[in-house]
Amino acid sequence: MSRFSATNLFKRALSPSLRNISSIPRTFPTSGFKVVPDSERLEEEKWKWYTPQSFYPVRIGDVLQSKYQVLYKLDYGTTSTIWVCRDLSRNEYVCMKSMVSDYSSVEREIHAYEALSAAAKSSDAPGKKYVRHALDQFEIAHAGRSYNFLIHEPLGMPVKFLQGVLDGKIPFVFCHEVIFRMLQALEYLHKDANLIHGDIQKSNILLRIEDLSVLQAMEESQFTSPSARKLTSETAVFQSCAMEGRLVQWFGEKSTPVLCDFGEARSGHSSHTDLIQPSVYRAPEVFLHLPWNKPVDIWNLGCMAWSLLFGRSLFSSTVKNNSKSAADVDHLAQMVALIGPPPPELLAEAGPRALEFFNHDGSAKGRISGYTFESLLEGNLERLGKSMREEEKEALLFFMRRTLTWRAEERATATGLLTAFQF
């Protein structure tokens, strides 16, 4: 059952070699691959909560909805497996997200894409181009359960992967491009779609593919070196396909960043209190169990921007003596060192929760010394062997101080930051 029809929002011109691929379903090898024994856990089976019923048994060669032929598995995560398919009706590559059954983030993600689909019809915001939309969505009933699928434009490597490949040293000019585009993406999300992303991190920002022929190369590899797999009476689990081609085929002038993964997205129509965000990017109102809304994305973006520029998180969240709470105490103390003490009224709003991190006089329980934006900036530049002009340093620190504030209402909006973006 489809909730929204395919859209041409992101339809791209294909190279002649890709257009010549037949739209007739291909027959994939039924032998010549490694059969993983039942005693060995493969990919998503390694999650502690995994059961054979968790995921729909997608198989290479399957044609779903009489339209999408599964070509190979691209990746897997805690709540989904990712596949490259061919849309036989349009003779184009698409990405298919096969989602776990009966999980809260699945419904959140589907609702988010419905909101994005509605916003895209009337919005001409520049940021629309830098947010992933769903081309299609459908459900399949299997073995008494319902499984949801999303169809997307195929994208390439996450920014986090690129940073690893480049040994943490992404050129500043590209970092600026990513940060600027993510501000545009958030402006579109917050104003036009009225959504809170809730999980902005480098692994959730994917880059468009420079040369789409790499997708064809990975498809052809299934005929020369088929993916290892485990096939049982209950399910099918496949090994993800290794990336083919050179870095320049994946990353180049066409590799614009796209904000993805809306499993933690919430509506901006009301405030929320549940736990979101990776701990190193977590906003103070989330730590303090206070109501939160769109400004959490701005804090999140500021922290992510620093990590993107310098390859290290602004805030440390190292667990000490197996105590996550002790790590959080130090984390909040780092916030105090960087942006000053929290307003007393904010701590009063947080009540007993605030006393887990702060003394009765408002001072931080953690002890952090020599921790300032200026010292961190100079230390990171020296470590990377890079330099910034004084005006660039000032602009960056201005940006950080506008994104990282104790009070959510004092934080800059995406629109405001776009107006002042200079570094």
Residue 255 in domain: no
Domain boundaries, position 215 = 1-154+211-244
The CATH number of residue 28's host domain is 3.30.200.20
Spatial neighbors of 189 by CB under 8 A, at least 6 apart, are: 127, 131, 195, 196, 197, 259, 297
Looking at residue 298, which CATH number applies to its domain?
A: 1.10.510.10
Q: Is 340 among the domain residues?
A: yes
Quote the pLDDT of residue 371: 84
Question: What is residue 412's DSSP assignment?
Answer: P
The token pair that represents 193 in the structure block:
């779609």
20: DSSP letter = T
Domain identity same for 166 and 132: no
Structure confidence at residue 1 (pLDDT): 42
Q: How far is CA 371 from the centre of its chain?
A: 29
Q: How far apart are CA 400 and CA 420, in angstroms?
A: 12
Shared domain for 81 and 185, answered yes or no, is no
CA pseudo-torsion sign 383, 389, 392, 397: positive
In a domain? residue 68: yes
User: For the chain, how far is it from start to end, CA to CA, in angstroms?
Assistant: 47
383 in the same domain as 290: yes
Q: Could you give the CA distance from residue 397 to residue 374 in angstroms, rounded to a whole number?
A: 8
User: Is 180 found in the same domain as 123?
Assistant: no
Residue 346 within a domain: yes
Helix (H) or strand (E) holding 85: strand 80-87
H-helix or E-strand containing 297?
A: helix 295-310
> DSSP letters of 253-265?
TT--EEE---TT-
Tens digit of each residue's pLDDT, the chain (423 residues): 444 433 333 333 344 344 445 589 999 999 999 999 999 999 999 999 999 999 999 999 999 999 999 999 999 999 999 999 999 999 999 999 999 998 889 999 999 999 999 999 999 999 999 999 999 999 999 999 999 999 999 999 999 999 999 998 899 999 999 999 999 999 999 999 999 999 999 999 999 999 999 999 999 999 999 999 999 988 999 999 999 999 999 999 999 999 999 999 999 999 999 999 999 999 999 999 999 999 999 999 999 999 999 999 999 766 555 556 788 999 999 999 999 999 999 999 999 999 999 999 999 999 877 789 999 999 999 999 999 999 999 999 999 999 999 999 999 999 999 998 776
Residue 298 and residue 225 share a domain: no
Q: Which domain-ending residue is among 188, 223, 244? A: 244
pLDDT, position 22: 54
Burial of 410 (0-12, 13-18, 19+ CB in 10 A): exposed
238 and 161 belong to one structural domain: no
User: DSSP per residue over 333-346, as a string?
Assistant: HHHHHHH-PPPHHH
142 inside domain: yes
Residue 8 has what pLDDT? 36
Q: What are phi and psi of 62, to 5 degrees?
A: -60, 150
Residue-by-residue DSSP string for 328-377:
HHHHHHHHHHHH-PPPHHHHHHHGGGGGGTB-TTS-BSS---S--HHHHH
Residues 234 and 164 in one domain: no
Q: Which of 190, 222, 244 is the last residue of a domain?
A: 244
Short-list 36, 50, 135, CA closest to 94 = 135
- Indicate whether 269 belongs to any domain: no
Among 97, 45, 32, which Cα is nearest to 70's?
97
Copy the structure tokens of residue 29.
Answer: 């090898």
Q: Are 136 and 11 in contact (CB under 8 A)?
A: no
Residues 105 and 165 in one domain: no
Are 84 and 226 in a shared domain?
Answer: yes
- Cα separation of 59 and 179, whole Å? 38
Shared domain for 201 and 349, answered yes or no, is: yes
Judgement on whether residues 6 and 139 belong to the same structural domain of the protein: yes
Residue 267 belongs to a domain: no
Q: What is the pLDDT of residue 18?
A: 47
- Counted domains in the chain: 2
Question: Based on the domain organization, do 134 and 279 belong to the same domain?
Answer: no
Q: Please, are residues 343 and 350 in contact by the beta-carbon 8 Å criterion?
A: no
Q: Which phi and psi angles does 235 have, rounded to 5°?
A: -155, 180
Report the pLDDT value the prediction gives residue 7, as an integer from 0 to 100. Answer: 38
Burial-class residue 221 by CB neighbours within 10 Å (0-12, 13-18, 19+).
middle
Task: Look at residue 147 and tell me if it is in a domain.
Answer: yes
Residue 139 parent element (H or E): strand 136-142
pLDDT at 324: 60
Candidates 241, 205, 197; CA nearest to 43 is: 241
In which region does residue 66 sit, left (phi positive, over 0), alpha (psi from -120 to 50) or beta (all else)? left
**Rounded to two decimals, what is the model's pTM?**
0.92
Gyration radius (Cα) of the chain, Å? 23
